[in-house]
A and B are shown apart, each in its own frame.
Chain A
Amino acid sequence: MKEQLAQIKKRAMDELGACQTVKELEDLRVKVLGKKGELTGILKQMGKLSAEERPVIGQLANEVRQELEGKIEEFKAALKEKQLAEQLASERLDVTMPGRPFELGSMHPLSLVLEEIEEIFLGMGFNIAEGPEVEYDYYNFEALNLPKDHPARDTQDTFYITDNILLRTQTSPVQVRVMEKQKPPIRVISPGRVYRSDAVDATHSPVFHQIEGLIVDKGVTMADLKGTLEIFAKRLYGEDAKTRFRPHHFPFTEPSAEMDTQCFACGGEGCRLCKGEGWIELLGCGMVHPKVLKNCGIDPEVYSGFAFGMGLERVVMRRFGIDDLRLFFENDLRFLKQF
């Protein structure tokens, strides 16, 4: 029986060496070690042995089993490793070939920058208010200290619907609507479309966008106006952005100012982009005119505030170096996909 065991072991070892696949190894394991396998067959004959021989043979049979099992596992592992290595080698890709693209949509450049500006003001505690584009003359002009026949109305060539209804020429009417509805403290911006009867060319469009801003509270000063808008300019153009405020005139603010940012192309030296001035106008602003506060039912002796407004298109054009305003509304995909 000892010899039989030795033979089984030797034969199995020989066959093991010839196995090329995991399946062959498995077949071998079943043939030798399985329920009906050779080794099991031997063990079944154990009953015929004497009491002295039994434990000796039993131990020997177990040793053979363990050894064979170990070997088979070892060969299996080595074979798997080899197969994997072959597979990996055969699966090599040219990683310099292009990836399969995912088509993401693109935001319109105007929306893209508008959202950025909105985020800046949201971070400074402003809410976002909206108002109608088809607007009453009262809100667009009269309440903003621009009575009929006011010469400044001429500079905003207006589209009229009726004598009293028009397409708003500015986002400022939203100021009035907000102040009518809400008591101070007020801190809002109001982005939106505005309309002026300018013929279409590279720098004019009858439809464009403005962003209006308004703060009303007790004790708001012109110094606050400067501080707030300087922070805005830095957030928009970077910490190094330099600004200047120079006097201007708007009927609904007093004092009024325009805020310029230093020309980034020439650093203030004066170049073609800034028309030699060294500065580029960014927005108009000023302390809310006491008459406007009063028109909205806010006591100018108790409250003060400031307002500002800027054109979105110009900011976006400067940002991306776009030289023709018409591109925004033509919506050529070759343009849109650049953003």
Chain B
Amino acid sequence: MNLSMKWLNDYVKIDVPPREFAHKMTMSGSKVEGYEIEGEGISNVVVGKILSVEKHPDADKLVVCMLDVGKGAPVQIVTGASNVFPGAVVPVALDGSVLPGGVKIKKGKLRGVESNGMLCSLNELGLTVHDFPYAIEDGIFIMEEECEIGQDICSAIGLNDTSVEFEITSNRPDCLSVTGLAREAAATFGKPFTLPKPQVKGSGGDIGEYLKVRVENPELCRRYMAKVVKNVKIGPSPRWMRERLRASGVRPINNLVDITNYVMLEYGQPMHAFDLKYVEENQIVVRNAKAGETIETLDGTVHSLSEEMLVICDGKKPAAVAGVMGGEYSGIMDDTQVVVFESASFKGASVRTTAKKLGLRTESSSRFEKGLSAKLCEDALLRACELVELLGAGEVVDGTIDVDNSNETPVRVKLEPEWINRFLGIELGREEMVKILESVGFVMDGDDIIAPAFRIDIEHKADIAEEIARFYGYDKIPATAIRGTAQGRLTPEQVFERKAVRSMLAMGCNEIQTYSFISPKYYDKIALPSDSVLRKSIEITNPLGEDTSVMRTTILPSMMEVLARNYNNRLPQAYLFEVGVEYIPTTPDRLPDENKVLGIGLYGPQADFYTVKGMAETLFGALNVAEADFIPCHNDPSFHPGRCAKIAVNGKEVGILGEIHPKVLENYGIGVKCFAARLSVSGMYEAVLPECRYKQLPKFPATTRDISVVCDESTPMMEVEKVIKKAVGKSLESISLFDVYRGEQVEKGKKSLSFAISMRSYERTLTDEEADNSIRRTLKALGEMGIMLRG
């Protein structure tokens, strides 16, 4: 909402500078986004009168003008415009003047002839022909205003208003109007607010002879009022009205249309004007649209209407979409003779859905949809008629049509000063409260507060508290510390998650954050088969685009996108992780399961399968997760069939990791091997071991034995290790694989695994014999599996 300060001053006298006005209004609840002082960018431009026009001696398209600018000798200015003539009154930018946009005008020579300034067009003053309809677009602005030669141009053409831009919240449609803001301003600055009742003289006749109105849906049209104006004289509105519309950001059109806009801006009540000659059968019917009906609106587009939309029809066809926009042929033309003014109350929700469906959000619909009181209709209608008489734009026919089904009862709330003080944390007397409330239109009735009709937002004592707080001043409410004790702490799960993040950071991984929604095509990119359950995603019915249309069921494609992006940016290596959510559908009417997952993705010259596996293992260690089994997985389509493992803890699957399948890499255009892991955060959390107990440091030395055994290439190392662990038994302190050998020394298809086995007793020093026995048992057990000591 753009507010003209000149207009505001019709209703409340505000005499503070714009900055202070903006600040105080903001602090009382009408947020000012900014303000524009008209003519601020213009200086040293005056009204001049052309004394003579002569041809330029050396240029065909230039003329040399002598001007009277009100002081001293005439000024010579060269111009290229062709519409200048002796006697014309024009804006003159003198030497050293500034025009909007910071354009500086200096004297100089044009083709050898001295020019001491510039004659201005509308455009050069930041104006358009809508501001001065008698002027032409491309040429010097030949002024028809009453002004003095030498007068400052801004005051001469009324370019001295200030337009203040408000951001009005949706609960206050009453403030989308000059009078509404005037009321707020009056209360804010402690000034009187005056809103005189509009007076209409009338010119006889009877509206009943011109028009009949029938409302078929009183639920959606709670009130319909109309007045008729005859002998209409269409023309431009007077300058003051055009200026105010301009300052409000509305383009002036003609006097009748301007009046409807002016009243809407002034009272907050949208108005509509029909040309009676297009109202067939001279009757207006307010009804729901019929299936198949269409309307061409004022903006020239044809809309199909549906049955829940409310329309204003004449005897035959829809002439306007109620509260949204008029039809092409209902509007006011230059030949209009009789006008019908409509001032009605339409149900907000209906206007909102209709406007949304038609894609037609207008000044009118955005006011109606917030909810307007039916009480507003009458004064707005009278004000329009008053303006018609004031402008001499026509004769108002006596009589008013008023189909009123509104039945609004005023809202009453009990004034509870003690509760309000307690709620806000202030101490304000009852009388002060009443004074505040009355200043914004509330009326006291004993202990009850009666809210004014235009305050559709008031229903509870908390609303009253807000009114008090706003004008008492939010800045005057003290700032106190909350009482009571409370212990803020992370839950064990939250601690666990933070620890997981810390561990990933310590391993040199960079955290990423990716969108939760993806394109269904991403599933193709990670090579999910067409019947994969992971393709069943939560779908967004109104996505921004296909790229963001389904909620991911796996974090993997998001990770791959980021790896690809960094690869394309020529980063030699990337070690990344994300704690993200996977959304797994349940039943259609229930929410999906939202599973937190730790995703790891990496590539780089040093990276291989064991890098990502090592990360997972280190992470589990850092998080004190029970020992994990890595089970070879040959059938996950996103991973290399020979380089992928499912991870299970306590027999429960908690994730998967491996090298990304070459086909998937190709889909992402990545030319290096990538490795990834998906680990369920809750899965890991559930497998956390009890906190460690301190173990006494050993008093006796360990005995170590190294063995190298030969097994089939296909035998997983872990199987061998498990046999060794079992065979060595209790005295085993640690076992570690320190070499894997394939080559000449062993048979083809076999590999040699070398383990360092450390044995220790906490009671005594183990004898060599005991150690040797353990190894003998181990070799025997291995031998039973066909695994022999390497010769």
Residues of chain A touching chain B, judged by Cβ–Cβ distance below 8 Å, are 102-108, 110-111, 115, 121-128, 132-136, 149, 151-152, 154-155, 159-162, 164-165, 167, 185, 187, 193, 195, 197, 199-200, 206-207, 215, 217, 219-224, 226-228, 230-231, 244-249, 251, 254-257, 275-276, 287, 289-291, 304, 328-334, 336-337
Contacts and interface: CB of A to CB of B under 8 A. Distances in A.
Nearest to B463: A254
B171 A224 contact: no
B736 interface: no
B565 interface: yes
B488 A127 contact: yes
A122 B490 contact: yes
A327 B697 CA distance: 51
Contacts of A331: 512-514, 562, 565-566, 576
Given A199-B544, A206-B548, A224-B481, A246 B369 contact: no
B588 to A, nearest CB: 7
Interface in B497-541: 498, 501, 504-517, 538-541
Given A121-B488, A227-B482, A332-B566, A248 B31 contact: yes
Interface string B407-440: 0000000000000001111100000000000000
28 contacts: A106-B511, A111-B501, A122-B490, A125-B485, A125-B488, A126-B488, A127-B491, A133-B581, A134-B583, A149-B353, A159-B541, A159-B542, A165-B591, A197-B542, A197-B543, A206-B544, A219-B422, A221-B423, A226-B474, A227-B479, A227-B481, A231-B481, A245-B474, A247-B470, A287-B423, A291-B460, A331-B512, A333-B576
B367 to A, nearest CB: 10
Contact of B465 (A127, A162, A227, A255): A255
A79 B349 CA distance: 100
Given A207-B516, A331-B576, A151 B370 contact: yes
Nearest to B486: A125
Contact of A162 (B369, B371, B566, B589): B589
Interface of A is mostly: mixed
Interface string B454-496: 0001001111011001100011011111111111111100100
Interface string B573-595: 01111000101000011011010
B294 to A, nearest CB: 25
Given A151-B370, A331-B562, A334-B571, 11 more contacts: A102-B508, A126-B486, A151-B348, A151-B352, A185-B484, A215-B482, A227-B482, A245-B477, A246-B474, A247-B29, A333-B569
Contact of B469 (A222, A231, A276): A222
Nearest to A243: B479
Contact of B169 (A161, A249, A330): A249
A275 B36 CA distance: 13
A104 B505 contact: yes
Contacts of A289: 460, 462
Contacts of B513: 108, 110-111, 328-329, 331
A254 B465 contact: yes
Contacts of A105: 504-511, 575, 577
B462 A287 contact: yes
Interface residues of B, number: 92
Contacts of A126: 486, 488
Contacts of B501: 107, 111
B172 to A, nearest CB: 7
Interface in B706-748: none
A102 B507 CA distance: 10
Nearest to A249: B169
A226 B31 contact: no
B28 interface: yes
Given A111-B511, A246-B31, A162 B588 contact: yes
Contact of B515 (A154, A185, A207, A290): A207
Contact of B541 (A106, A161, A334): A161
Contacts of A251: 171
A226 B480 contact: yes
A197 B544 contact: yes
B238 interface: no
A254 B470 CA distance: 11
Contacts of B514: 329, 331
A165 B583 CA distance: 14
Nearest to B426: A223
Contacts of A133: 516, 581, 583, 594
**Top-8 shortest CB links A-B:** A223-B425, A125-B486, A221-B425, A247-B29, A255-B466, A249-B169, A149-B349, A103-B508
A159 B548 CA distance: 11
Contacts of B466: 247, 254-256
B34 interface: yes
Contacts of B542: 159-160, 197
B548 to A, nearest CB: 6
A122 B489 contact: yes
A91 B466 CA distance: 77
B170 interface: yes
Given A105-B505, A197-B542, A123 B512 contact: no
Nearest to A161: B538
A187 B487 CA distance: 9
Given A155-B170, A207-B515, A333 B488 contact: no
B598 interface: no
A106 B506 CA distance: 9
From B171, B353, B498, B569, residue with most partner A Cβ within 10 Å: B171
A136 B424 CA distance: 32
Contacts of B353: 149
B34 A275 contact: yes
A219 B483 contact: yes
Nearest to A275: B34
A128 B465 contact: no
A224 B512 contact: no
Contact of B474 (A228, A257, A276, A332): A257
Nearest to B540: A159
A161 B491 contact: no
Given A105-B511, A247-B29, A193 B474 contact: no
A180 to B, nearest CB: 15
Contacts of A219: 422, 483
A26 to B, nearest CB: 31
A331 B356 CA distance: 36
A125 B592 CA distance: 32
B425 A222 contact: yes
A221 B577 CA distance: 43
From B172, B485, B486, residue with most partner A Cβ within 10 Å: B486
Contact of B508 (A104, A127, A247, A249): A104
A122 B462 CA distance: 30
B594 A247 contact: no
A324 to B, nearest CB: 15
Nearest to B347: A149
A168 B462 CA distance: 27
Nearest to A123: B488
Given A106-B505, A331-B576, A185 B589 contact: no
Given A105-B510, A227-B481, A331-B576, A245 B425 contact: no
A334 B594 contact: no
Contacts of B788: none
Given A107-B501, A206-B544, A161 B539 contact: yes
B26 interface: yes
B511 A149 contact: no
Contacts of A245: 474-475, 477
Contacts of B581: 133, 193
B488 A224 contact: no
Contacts of B53: none
B505 A226 contact: no
A329 B515 CA distance: 7
A128 B494 CA distance: 9
Nearest to A230: B479
Contacts of A132: 591, 594
Contact of A304 (B26, B423, B426, B577): B423
